[in-house]
Amino acid sequence: MLRAFRRWAIRVAVSRAELQDAAARLERGLIDANLGGNLYKQRIALPGRGRSGGARAIIATRFAGIVVFLYGFEKNERESVTEREIELYRGIARELLAMNENQTACALAEGVLWEVTDEPDHR
């Protein structure tokens, strides 16, 4: 996940399990919205609100085991993202998904990207 997404997820109390569930649903083909250019929108449950009234995440993936959470927003704050924002995120997705293993490792080491693991919490 991108650093900004991580800060947002911590602020709104998105659990590691919910992020993993969103990624797993996406990889199983349970896609809430295909935005084109390897970009997808998935529902994310928030505590006490569930998925439909919770949050949305913009995610980049090529379904090869790499899923990058780019942006998150609460459903009660905004309905969706603009076409201009989608274009911006498509460009970011292209860059991130083109990274090789060494570039990804560097981005993780520098804190540009954060990995969602099976550890107790993603914070």
Give residue-wise pLDDT tens across range 68-120. 999 999 988 888 899 999 999 999 999 998 999 899 889 888 888 888 765 55
> Residue 123's pLDDT is what?
44
pTM of the predicted model, to two decimals? 0.85
- The answer to the question of residue 53 being in a domain is yes
- The answer to the question of residue 117 being in a domain is no
- The answer to the question of residue 46 being in a domain is yes
- The answer to the question of residue 18 being in a domain is yes
The average pLDDT across 23-38 equals 92
pLDDT reading at 58 higher than 90: yes
Containing structural domain, residue 34: 3-109
**12-16, long-range: CB < 8 A, 24+ apart:** 12/46, 12/55, 12/72, 12/74, 13/46, 13/47, 14/44, 14/46, 14/55, 14/72, 15/47, 15/122, 16/116, 16/117, 16/119, 16/120, 16/121, 16/122
Model confidence at 38, pLDDT cuts 50, 70, 90, reads very high
Model confidence at 122, pLDDT cuts 50, 70, 90, reads very low
Total number of domains in the chain? 1
- The answer to the question of residue 26 being in a domain is yes
Mean pLDDT of the chain: 87
- The answer to the question of residue 118 being in a domain is no
